[in-house]
Structure 1
Amino acid sequence: MSQPHLRQLLLSFNLMLLLTAAFFTTTHSVIQNLPGFNGTFPFKLQTGYIGVGESEQVQLFYYFIESERSPANDPLLLWLTGGPGCSGFSGLVYEIGPLVFDYDNSDGIIPTLVLNPYSWTKVANIIFIDQPAGTGFSYATTAEAYKSSNTLSAIHTYQFLQKWLLNHPKFLNNPLYIAGDSYSGITVPLVVNQVYGGIEAGRNPVLNLKGYILGNPLTQTYANYNGRVAYAHRMGLLSDELYQSAKENCYGYYLSVDPSNGACKDDLERVTQCLEKIRKPHILEPWCDNMWTALLLPSDEGHCAPQSEPCYRDKYALYSEKWANVKLVQEALQVAEGTITEWARCNATLTYDLDYNQTEAFTYDVKSTVDDHKSFTYKDCRALVYSGDHDMVVPHTVTEEWIKSLKLQVKNGWRPWFVDGQVAGYTTEYFHGRYELTYATVKGAGHTAPEYKPEECFHMIQRWLGHGPL
């Protein structure tokens, strides 16, 4: 037998072994209807578990929706919700998936679900994953396996994607994009690195990675929180005099200030007075005590805001927790019985805290992914990075700074992009060799952009995936 034929036989044999193992260690079910939704879904939803890690002690739960246009030809997106520890269901039902809650008609035991006319599944196949273990319906079979980190979570997510594609081989040739928002600005580049490493090592299956998508992405933890002061000044929340004084007295560093620097402390007290009643997810929304956001976002004081009447948008978050904790819902989703005690949109034991390097269950061993982005500029790779311009959780100005640090060439300079004849935001296109990066702001959007501006974000992703201008 010739050497090429022998290599092909060995590759086929190895793929068969991997495929056989994958089928034994994964489960999935097609879901045609869910409690709260009237009728049968006009799209294909699948849920399931895939075992990863040592002895597959981590069981990652996912929701998969086939493209409503052309599943065989449309791109495949792996969507990673932020947090860390926020369920993929959050991205599905609040941002880019085919279902949304009908808030005006959800007073019953089970909240009402309706179709989202701006779902990204109209142009893409999307996997929403609960990761790491302890997120959503994902679980571990041992207490030790619940402990994770940025690096380990990325490894597990790559293993998940390999096994998922082995179980769904018809999507192996679809263009693949790793996508996510918020804290996934840390997670997505780490997964992209894992995928590129697998491609270069020739690991089967060889994934057809074409690029990545990031929305409102936390990319450098310190720079992000520090950059809120400059953003607040730019948005007219701080006077020129106060900003210049703080910048000079604090030397541009507004966190962990030297206690002996009285001038800086005085300036920052005035900055806090100006910003403490500004709602960070969207600076134009009215202030209220946070129930949901306080858990998700570390405050400048390092603790959560007082709990009282939640903000109206935070009330929306409660619908998912009410819905997902109904036994009928979990049975319909084919959730493994006895694997969770209570579903939460975000697991607070995993949520990032600027003041600590880890929680009991999660170690933040990566604080910046700028170098990862720099390494991608030497790949044949497409990237879309977008930001809501009224987001003070991850200010667009901070995102623009790290993009500038990549030292890319400008293909098309800053200009408006439009939806229905109206300015939807502003965009710049960059390149370096075969690397292309499209950056876009979404006008009037907060954290995260599709939640606030679903129609504009749908047109943005449709145009970008179609390789056209925004």
Structure 2
Amino acid sequence: MFFSQSKLQLTLLLIILVFFHTFCSSHNVIEYLPGFPGKLPFKLETGYIGVGEKEEVQLFYYFFESESNPEDDPLMLWLAGGPGCSSLYGVTNEIGPFTIDFLNSNRSLPSLMLREHAWTKVANIIFLDQPVGTGFSYATTPEAFYSNDTYATELAYEFLRKWLISHPKYINNPLYISGISYAGVTVPLVANNIYRGNEAGIKPLMNIKGYILGNPYTDAFGDINERVTYAHRMGLLSDRLHHSAKVNCHGNYVNVNPENVLCLNDLDRINQCLDKINEYMILEPSCDSVWSTKEDILSSAIPFPGESPTNFLQSVVAPEKKIMCRNAAVVHLYTWANNKSVRQALDIREGTKGEWTRCNKTIQSSTQVPDGTTPYVCNAKSVVGYHKDFAHKNCRTLIFSGDHDKAFPHTATEKWIEFLEVPILSDWRPWFVQGQIAGYTMTYGRDDYELTYATVKGAGHTAPEYKPEECFAMITRWFDESSF
């Protein structure tokens, strides 16, 4: 009799929790999107979930059900970088099931098309706009806009708990916290909250299996300091200049003594060599001006004599010639996301947000000092310690790096992975797609912990954007636990 009453009470409690969280959140299943021809061939849900003491932060998400086996396929929480960059870019430009049809779009309503190598073919994915102020997420009070790394990731953990309560069918799916770029900070913090919550018995218990990171920002000093060495390895700096800087700066290119004239001179020469390099993809043109002019926002003019010293190696280019920039496609994304019919289809709450932007510049430009005047404080200077703690848990980790990213170089990532002091299970070796080398990989592990590291050959900062087929093969094989 006692067992029956307890079971009934537990059932009633779960019903109340589901009702409460459904009432305090909203979600909408979308079958049609402006710009896409016909009915969507995948399940898309968007919505808000309130978090914080009084649910003053409303986090917006896009959820795509796996196109293969949603009942058993992994559940991924995908966090974008920035901080303050919208996960919609991850949907359209990185791993989501649709993208902007750039060649067949105009500036009134861009067209959408399916992505062949979408990760939603093998996983259920929640794309979350966080921290507050990112994408379509908003706050109901001015005070709630103030945040930092640790608090924002506590709210992301609360979001995931509430999402799973209102979507109980996914509670038993293998869970991976995932992201790219500055998510190198937020993903470990969220994962740590989940592991701690499970250990404390906080319901619902999550079936976390590990985490996935691409070109992660991990350490405020190490990632930035490594840029000089990386630039030398990629042939952007001479042996003589790199050696001089290494000696004169004592290997520290970030915290430089202002009286160290020799070091400052070397760094000035290095800056001249790297100034026009696209740090997110060193092989592509630097297109900062794509954002500075609205009259010709799709292209960037090639510099002419007068902007740089005349050199006999420079070719003469006709003044009307333009360079097509990768960022040009983002202009169409802005147009699409801010179209009234699109916002209605996505069920964006009217009056909560102004213009959608890829990255919230107010958050990005916040200082690193918690002086109480900036909306966001980057207070997690290094998360290497979290990775070291995960190495003693039941945890699978995939770290991948586009090897042509200078912003957060793969060489910096390799250094902190070695710092974890986890035994090597499989040493440096190539991995293949279509019979061609797609990159190089290593596997580390002990007991219930395993870390797979992979470079993506020829990819930039957001590797799936540059090498979609290779990255799809990578994630599929890793989920299947098959060898690269």
Q: TM-score range by the shorter chain?
A: over 0.9
| Per-residue CA distance 1:406-456 (angstroms, 9 max, x = gap) | 001011110000000000000000002210000000000001100100010
Match in the other structure for 1:375: 389
Match in the other structure for 1:418: 432
Contact 1:83 1:352 survives alignment (8 Å): no
Using the TM superposition, give the Cα deviation of residue 222 of structure 1 relative to its aligned residue in structure 2, in angstroms: 1.6
Contact 1:291 1:311 survives alignment (8 Å): no
Residues 310 and 46 (structure 1), Cα distance of their counterparts in 2 relative to 1, 3 Å cut: farther
Q: 1:311, 1:387 → 2: CA distance?
A: 25
Task: Pick one of 415, 436, 441 that aligns with 1:401.
Answer: 415
Query: Is 1:320 aligned with 2:333?
Result: yes
Larger radius of gyration between Structure 1 and Structure 2: 2
Contact 2:362 2:375 survives alignment (8 Å): yes
Using the TM superposition, give the Cα deviation of residue 240 of structure 1 relative to its aligned residue in structure 2, in angstroms: 1.2
Query: Is 1:45 aligned with 2:48?
Result: no
Residues 283 and 366 (structure 1), Cα distance of their counterparts in 2 relative to 1, 3 Å cut: same
Name the stretch that deviates more: 24-33 or 284-293: 284-293
Using the TM superposition, give the Cα deviation of residue 13 of structure 1 relative to its aligned residue in structure 2, in angstroms: 4.7
Q: 1:188, 1:5 → 2: CA distance?
A: 41
Residue 49 of structure 2 aligns with an amino acid whose one-letter code is I
| Per-residue CA distance 1:257-285 (angstroms, 9 max, x = gap) | 21211110111111111111111011111
Match in the other structure for 1:106: 105
Q: 2:69, 2:269 → 1: CA distance?
A: 55
Residues 9 and 371 (structure 1), Cα distance of their counterparts in 2 relative to 1, 3 Å cut: farther
Match in the other structure for 1:18: 17
DSSP-derived class of the 1:30 partner: strand
Q: 1:375, 1:61 → 2: CA distance?
A: 30
Q: 2:243, 2:5 → 1: CA distance?
A: 70
Give the % identical residues. 55
DSSP-derived class of the 2:58 partner: strand
Name the stretch that deviates more: 418-427 or 222-231: 222-231
Match in the other structure for 2:247: 248
Using the TM superposition, give the Cα deviation of residue 176 of structure 1 relative to its aligned residue in structure 2, in angstroms: 0.5
Q: TM-score, normalised by structure 1?
A: 0.93
Q: 1:204, 1:11 → 2: CA distance?
A: 12
Match in the other structure for 2:362: 349
Match in the other structure for 1:80: 79
Q: 1:394, 1:354 → 2: CA distance?
A: 20
Q: 1:310, 1:59 → 2: CA distance?
A: 40
Contact 2:366 2:377 survives alignment (8 Å): no
Contact 2:410 2:455 survives alignment (8 Å): yes
Residues 6 and 352 (structure 1), Cα distance of their counterparts in 2 relative to 1, 3 Å cut: farther
Contact 1:15 1:204 survives alignment (8 Å): no
Residues 117 and 260 (structure 1), Cα distance of their counterparts in 2 relative to 1, 3 Å cut: same
Contact 1:291 1:310 survives alignment (8 Å): no
Using the TM superposition, give the Cα deviation of residue 17 of structure 1 relative to its aligned residue in structure 2, in angstroms: 3.4
Task: Pick one of 451, 459, 475 that aligns with 1:445.
Answer: 459
Contact 2:369 2:377 survives alignment (8 Å): no
Write the mapping of 1:70-469 to structure 2, written as runs, cut at 5 A. 70-291=69-290, 312-351=325-364, 360-469=374-483
Using the TM superposition, give the Cα deviation of residue 317 of structure 1 relative to its aligned residue in structure 2, in angstroms: 1.5
Q: 2:129, 2:267 → 1: CA distance?
A: 38
Contact 2:132 2:145 survives alignment (8 Å): yes
Using the TM superposition, give the Cα deviation of residue 80 of structure 1 relative to its aligned residue in structure 2, in angstroms: 0.3
Residue 410 of structure 2 aligns with an amino acid whose one-letter code is H
Residue 452 of structure 2 aligns with an amino acid whose one-letter code is T
Residue 144 of structure 2 aligns with an amino acid whose one-letter code is A
Contact 1:84 1:352 survives alignment (8 Å): no
Q: 1:310, 1:286 → 2: CA distance?
A: 8
Q: 2:366, 2:145 → 1: CA distance?
A: 18
Q: 1:41, 1:16 → 2: CA distance?
A: 31
Q: 1:197, 1:12 → 2: CA distance?
A: 25
Residues 255 and 91 (structure 1), Cα distance of their counterparts in 2 relative to 1, 3 Å cut: same
Residues 253 and 9 (structure 1), Cα distance of their counterparts in 2 relative to 1, 3 Å cut: farther
Unaligned 5+ segments in structure 1 are 294-308
DSSP-derived class of the 1:202 partner: coil
Q: TM-score, normalised by structure 2?
A: 0.91
| Per-residue CA distance 1:179-232 (angstroms, 9 max, x = gap) | 000000000000001101110011111010000000000000221111100100
| Per-residue CA distance 1:152-181 (angstroms, 9 max, x = gap) | 111110111011111111101110000000
Matched positions, count: 454
| Per-residue CA distance 1:16-52 (angstroms, 9 max, x = gap) | 3322221111111111111111111110000000000
DSSP-derived class of the 1:393 partner: coil
Using the TM superposition, give the Cα deviation of residue 352 of structure 1 relative to its aligned residue in structure 2, in angstroms: 5.8
Report the aligned-residue RMSD: 1.8
DSSP-derived class of the 2:54 partner: helix
Q: 2:349, 2:27 → 1: CA distance?
A: 11
Q: 1:151, 1:397 → 2: CA distance?
A: 27
DSSP-derived class of the 1:49 partner: strand
Using the TM superposition, give the Cα deviation of residue 361 of structure 1 relative to its aligned residue in structure 2, in angstroms: 1.0
Q: 2:154, 2:400 → 1: CA distance?
A: 25
DSSP-derived class of the 2:347 partner: coil
Unaligned 5+ segments in structure 2 are 293-321
Q: 1:162, 1:173 → 2: CA distance?
A: 13
Residue 327 of structure 1 aligns with an amino acid whose one-letter code is K
Match in the other structure for 1:297: none
Q: 2:252, 2:370 → 1: CA distance?
A: 20
Using the TM superposition, give the Cα deviation of residue 289 of structure 1 relative to its aligned residue in structure 2, in angstroms: 2.9
DSSP-derived class of the 1:455 partner: helix
Q: 2:44, 2:358 → 1: CA distance?
A: 20
Residues 15 and 337 (structure 1), Cα distance of their counterparts in 2 relative to 1, 3 Å cut: same
DSSP-derived class of the 2:424 partner: strand
